[in-house]
Every structure is written in C-alpha cells, then in structure tokens.
Amino acid sequence: MIIALFGFILLFITILQAFMPKFLKPTEAFGVYIPDSHTKDSVVIKLKNTYTTVVLTFGMIIFLVYLWWALTQKPAEETLALVSVGVQFTTLFVSIGYYFMMHLRMKRLKETQGWLIGKSEVRVIDVKFQEKLKLIPRVLFIIPMFVTIGLIIYTFMKYDQMPEMIPTHWGPTGEADAFSEKTYFSVVALPLILLVMQGMFLMMSEGMKFSGVRLNPANKKASLVQQLAFRKYTSLLALFITIGITLMLGYFHLQTIHPEISSPLIMWALPLTFLILTFAVVGIYAIKVGQSGSRLKVEENSPAIDNKIAVDEDRYWKGGMFYLNKNDPSIMVEKRFGVGWTLNFAHPISWIVLLVPLLLIFGISFLL
C-alpha cells in the first residue's frame, strides 16, 4: 500500500507537470507573454507539445523503474520512503530544468520574430472589479481557527490527564514513532502549527482582493468573467484545504488527549484520504478552471483592439517564475507557469508573508 501511495504521488506530479502548458492562458507560454496574434503559431504549439512529450516520457520511465525496484527489491519502509521522496523531487527538478530551457527558447523566438513590433501596449482595467469579486466569506476561514483555539484551551484543561510522552510523528503504518516530553508548549505544538497554516490560507484568499487584475485587450469581457471565476474557485479551493487539514490535524491532536480514540488504521487512512481528495480537487481545478480561468467557457466577447496588446511584463518575471516589480502594489500575482498564485518579491511585505509563517512552523517544530 505504501508503494501504491508513493507511486500515485509520483504519477500525479508527472501528469500535472507534463500537461501544465495546457492549463495556462494562451497568451503565456513558459513564462513568456505572447500576443494574441501569435498564440496559435505552429512553432509555439510545437514547443508546448514537445515539453509535454518529454516530461511525460521521462516521468513514466522513472515511474516504471520505481515500481520495478520497489516490488522486486522489497526495501525496508525507511529506505522505501527515502527513495520515494527522492524520486519525486528528481522528477520535479528535471521538469523544472526542462521548463527553463523552453523558457529561453520562447524568449529568443519572441525576440527574433519581432512579435511586439508595430504593437501598442495598453493596460485594461475595470474600476468596479472589487465590487464584482465574490470570494468565500472570511468568516468561513475564521471558524476553523476558532475551533483550533478552542482545541488549545481544551488541551490545557486536560493537561494533567495527558501522558508524560507526547507523540510528535507517525510512521507509514499509522503507529507513533517519535515522542516529546510533555510540557505546556509541546502539548499544543500541533494546534499552533495548524493555526499558522489556517492563517496562511486565510491570507491567500483575502490577498486576492488586493491583487491587480490583468485583462486581455483582445477579449475584455470574457477575460473579466474568467478572472472573477478564477479567484472565486481559488478561494473555494483554499477553504477546502483549510477544512481538510483542520479535521486531520485536529484528530491527530485529540488522540493524544484521548488515547482510547486512537487507531493505527485511522491514523494511516486519514492522511491518505486527505491526500487523494486534495490531489483530485487540484486536478479538477486545473483542468476545469486553468490559470486565470482560461479553461472556463465564456460567451461574453468583445471586439479586439487593432494593433493593441496587453502590457508586456516579461522584464519583471525572472525566468518566467519569479515576479519582481517594485512599482506594482500587489503582494500576490498570478503565476505565469503553474496554476495559482505567487508573490511579488520586490514588495517588502511579500517577504513577511512568506517568511513569518515558515519561521513559526520551523520554530515550533524545532522546539519540540
């Protein structure tokens, strides 16, 4: 079963990375902006198909070799877990490395063929965008945080009844394999980490309200509808993950207070179920919504503006992945390669948003 789990994760990573160009806006390929008039150029389509073929082929070979090794060599659980994680990261790093190669090829193609020559750059805005935006209400993100706070209070009430050694890690079979001495800090470490994670998803949902919208001048109305839907579905995805981790980590913590509810089967099945459901939802999200809602079918169209294109922001995207624009007040921006959001690393607050939660989580884990 462990082999099936790691194999499933490896297969998911391979497929998602291979077909990523299919989930993005037509006007963006490998982190490079493409004017609408060139989105269907044969060379652009060929580069996308080549990327999919190479990454998928490499990933499937690695997947088959991994299964052969795991099934024939029958390694110990620790060795299996270590190799499995290493194989997953190798597959991911190879696909990212190949992406950067395609990114450079796309940039050269854009420059040599002069796609921007004779075009005027315009920025289309909708002054009422914030009024039209319908995200999941923040109260639905705050409720799980109150549940976690209540769990912390309840833990302190039950402190004297808790065992002297608190489990802090569970192995592949669902059995606890690492413990920490009971202190007022160690007994609430897991809920504290959960609270930080809940806050991160709340910030992500709320941050979309203040992120600048980039509408396509060639199809303003459809682009607007897709943007509104994209942010709404992203907020819904964040809520789904928030509820999922709250239920999972909440149970993990409660069984340290009430060992009678502990079950190796549940401890094994709960994270597996959460993982599979999350992958399934993310897959549906990528296929049905796509980046910026580009895969959503919209009938509202508007005439193209002759010789007008969206503002080319390639200079702000380092490698097509890292956005640095000190003149942009947005903290969060839509990814150019990948479905979701990234940070404006030229904005000081972005580093606070990134580092503070990570330092808190690592700090709590280190002090255990």
Instruction: Tell me the pLDDT tens digit for each residue of 169-197.
Output: 776 666 777 778 888 998 999 999 999 99
Residues 150 and 37 in one domain: no
pLDDT band at residue 168 under the 50/70/90 scheme: confident
Q: Please tell me the pTM assigned to this model.
A: 0.87
In this prediction, residues 242-271 reach a mean pLDDT of: 88
Is residue 78 domain-shared with residue 174, that is, in the same domain?
Answer: no
Give the phi and the psi of residue 251 in degrees, each rounded to 5: -65, -45
Q: Based on the domain organization, do 68 and 196 belong to the same domain?
A: no
Question: What is the reported pLDDT for 93?
Answer: 94
Question: What amino acid occupies position 48?
Answer: K
Contact 91, 279 (CB under 8 A): no
d(CA 15, CA 23) in angstroms, rounded, equals 12
Residue 1: pLDDT band by 50, 70, 90 thresholds?
low
Choosing from 61, 82, 117, the residue where a domain stops is 117
* Interatomic CA distance for residues 292 and 310, integer angstroms: 15
Show the CA angle centred on residue 303, arms to residues 300 and 309, nearest 5°: 110
Residue that finishes a domain, picked among 94, 117, 140: 117
Domain range for 111 is 1-117
Does residue 344 contact residue 330 with C-beta atoms inside 8 Å? yes
Count the Cβ atoms, other than its own, within 10 Å of residue 318: 12
Hey, which bits of the chain come out as E strands?
Answer: 28-29, 32-33, 120-122, 165-170, 176-181, 308-310, 317-318, 322-323, 332-334, 341-343
3-state secondary structure of 17: helix
Q: How many CB atoms lie within 10 A of CB 17?
A: 23
pLDDT of residue 173: 61
Residues facing residue 176 across a β-bridge:
170
Q: Which of 117, 136, 160 is the last residue of a domain?
A: 117
Q: Are residues 87 and 147 in the same domain?
A: no
Does residue 300 register a pLDDT over 70?
no
Q: Do residues 106 and 133 both lie within one domain?
A: no
